[in-house]
Amino acid sequence: DVKVTQSSRYLVKRTGEKVFLECVQDMDHENMFWYRQDPGLGLRLIYFSYDVKMKEKGDIPEGYSVSREKKERFSLILESASTNQTSMYLCASFRGASGAYEQYFGPGTRLTVT
Amino acid sequence: DAKTTQPNSMESNEEEPVHLPCNHSTISGTDYIHWYRQLPSQGPEYVIHGLTSNVNNRMASLAIAEDRKSSTLILHRATLRDAAVYYCILRGHNAGNMLTFGGGTRLMVKP
């Protein structure tokens, strides 16, 4: 079975803390993504990476950065956590941008910033 | 991605087949029909996708109308674990990276 794993299911952090969310996939996919999901807002793309050390901003990159040093691992960094970053964070990967390919998601990290 | 229309909710009894419809009248010739589902407090899960022919996998079957303006996701025997929101999405040949989920169908399964 294909697998996308995320480092934590639940995380509670304080305002101003630096937060690291890790994602690992075992499918040798080039493309990896970070989304956040909030009630009524659907999935919003934060960053994506189409190769090692490559990254592109999504729709809402402010307050976030990413790192992709190895093909299988894509990290999301909240430089200084704020309460409006309380959300469900979802990592996904897929082989290519064509509609022929499916995306695989991790289980999600529910982050609460207090 | 072209627009899809799904019922807001459906109910099924456990152990019975479930047919989840999706209308996509503006589908283009290169659009793939994808289905994902999301269980409560979980990440979305890929279910199945197809282009023109009906597709089967271990999770479900996808029946695509001959004119491709509609499709049906078929769960052959619903279980309580199938209770989720099911999303029908069209993705073209040059779909780009992002997935856009619409409202989806909330499937409730009664024991």
pLDDT in tens, B68-106: 999 999 999 999 999 999 999 988 866 566 677 778 999
Which phi and psi angles does A61 have, rounded to 5°?
A: -80, -10
pLDDT score for B111 = 93
CA-based nearest residue in chain A for residue B91: A99
A10 touching B (Cβ < 8 Å): no
pLDDT at A34 over 80: yes
Shortest Cα distance, chain B CAs vs residue A6, angstroms:
11
Q: Give the rounded distance of the alpha carbon of A34 from its chain centre.
A: 3
Average pLDDT estimate for A57-67: 95
User: Which residues touch B19 (CB under 8 Å, ≥6 apart)?
Assistant: B72, B73, B74
Residues 44-103 (B) with a CB less than 8 A from some CB of A: 44-46, 49, 51, 90-101
pLDDT reported for residue A83: 97
Computed over every residue of chain A, the mean pLDDT equals 92
pLDDT at B40: 87
Average pLDDT on A41-53 reads 89
Residue A57 CB coordination number (10 Å):
13
Q: With an 8 Å Cβ cutoff, are A42 and B100 in contact? A: yes
